[in-house]
Amino acid sequence: MDSQAFWMRLKTHRWVYSFSIVATLAVGILIGTVVSFGVKGKEGQKSSDATPLTVPAPRQLSNEFSRIAKDLGPSVVNINTESTIKNVHRRRGQQNPDDDDNGGGGMDDFFNHFFGGPGQMNPFGDNGPIRERSLGSGVIVDSKGYIVTNRHVVEKADRIRVRLQDDPPGVQHDAKVIGEDQETDLAVIKVDVDRPLPAAKMGNSDGMEVGDWVLAIGSPFGQVGTVTAGIVSAKGRDIVPGRQFQTFIQTDAAINPGNSGGPLVNMNGEVIGINTAILSETNAYAGVGFSLPSNTVVQVYNQLIGPEHRVARGSIGIMFDQIENPAIARVYGAGSGVTISSVVAGSPADQAGLKVGDTITSVDGQKVAKGSELVADIASRKPGSKVDIGFIRNGKQEHATVTIDDRAKLFASRLGDEENGGDQSSPKQSKLGITVRKLTPEMADRLNMPAGKGVVVQDVKPGSFGEDVNLSRGDVILEVNKQPVNSEQDLEKIESSLKSGQDVVFLVRPRGSTQQDGTIFMAGTLP
């Protein structure tokens, strides 16, 4: 481009730019004139009938939160435990004995009740005993030093120490266990101090509604006195299939390892739940936490501080399908009720003549529509009391008088709770030392497994054969010695045939495995 052409182009651009300025000013003047006329057109009119806005007094939710945290904080304690774990084994390819607990994946919400990350010391080598340290929280409910926490926080601990919020750094108090309840995962511990302790006030969890504000207080990751806020996200959550006495309040208040056993608090500063579990793929806060309702906590606490230091629940010795299925009601001809799937031999139900296929419709004249209602009613009654059971058999309404028995005795082997109410004179011994449960459709779907295949390990007794072969909670057993295991009864049948000195080979899908073909063998010789 020559110089003349260049300057001609520049002059043209200047002219366009100047024209744009003039046009913009003209439009601005025109708009200003219109606006001016508009304002003048409003003059002379009467005042509006709108109500003036007002600014409320400076009372904010944050002030409520801080008030509650200040009032209730001193009653929340940090719990440190130490325990000895024997016969620690590593699976092939594992780096640390606790790898499963830190990376279990899909089964974490069912089996990895959280508490602080363990610090472990093992001076005896890889397969020797180790010292495990755990962190948790608790809440003082009696000024004499009685504290409510989760059972899994203090379970099998050799030493329990409690740190109060007003204690100087490094000061801790030894605590003793007063009582534990396996089925609600609650425990009561006590510290002896020479002064009254600040006790929290219990609230009524039934009064909470979805959307209500709540605070969670505890020691996540050992950070004492941490307060988080959220709302009640849901009520009546069943997060562990088959756990009949654990229905939870769901909250989005941040709950992390170390919060377990701490309180969930309403805006009146009352404890309406004990933080127990989280739903997470990473074992850390993901917005879904669960607290055991205070009404359940109070019922359990009052029995644990009693003379026997245990919870006695009534039972008539029946089982039923945990998941409601309309097809059952249609086949057995009952519109609503609880259809019996199994009757314990020699139980009160058996003695009263109840049979598989009978549909229970009432208890002492009160209608029963769901299994949870039936369990709650019967469990609240004292062993030895009598109850009228209304049921339908072959389309006809019938009644039977049934004597309530102790649930722990009737289901001792199933609950794995021999020390809590089992027949001490002749306890049932398990050759394998494991407790299992049939996979529910929900669990099978979560594990990407075919429904009805395998059983999941709920518990492994320390020092047992199951522990020796390295079975752990959350593993899915598919076969034992080439025989399929699809129910508790399948395993019991196989177990009864095993003899000392016999080789036992488990086909197992390890906890956390997401592939259907991710199975391994675990084997040993039965002692």
Per-position b or e across 379-403, b if 16+ CB within 10 A of its CB:
bebebeeebebbbbbeeeeeebebb
Tokens 């309180």 sit on residue:
263
The two structure tokens encoding residue 403: 């004597």
Q: What is the DSSP string of 466-506?
A: HHHTT--TT-EEEEETTEE--SHHHHHHHHHH--TT-EEEE
Q: How is residue 115 written in tokens?
A: 């508490």
Three-state DSSP state, 408: helix
Q: Considering the candidates 260, 291, 464, 513, report the single residue annotated as catalytic.
A: 260
Torsion of CA 25, 30, 35, 40, to 10 degrees: 130
β-pairing, 318-320 vs 338-343, is: antiparallel
Q: Give the residue carrying structure tokens 């260049």.
A: 6
Give the C-alpha separation, 325 to 339, whole Å. 10
Distance CA 258, CA 78 (A): 8
Q: Is the Cβ–Cβ distance between 188 and 178 less than 8 Å?
A: yes
Type of residue found at 317:
G
Task: Identify the three-state secondary structure at position 7.
Answer: helix
Q: SS3 for 142?
A: strand
CB 479 within 8 A of CB 507: yes
Q: Is 503 a catalytic residue?
A: no
Task: Say whether 185 is catalytic.
Answer: yes
**Contact residues for 331 (Cβ-Cβ < 8 A; gap 6+):** none
Point out the catalytic residue in the list 134, 152, 219, 405: 152
Q: Are 62 and 69 in contact (CB under 8 A)?
A: no
By DSSP bridging, strand 289-293 and strand 159-163 are: unpaired
The catalytically annotated residue of 101, 108, 181, 185 is 185
Burial code of 141-171, b = ≥16 C-beta within 10 A, e = fewer? bbeebbbbbbbbbbbebeebbbbbeeeeeee
Q: Which residues are catalytic?
A: 152, 185, 260
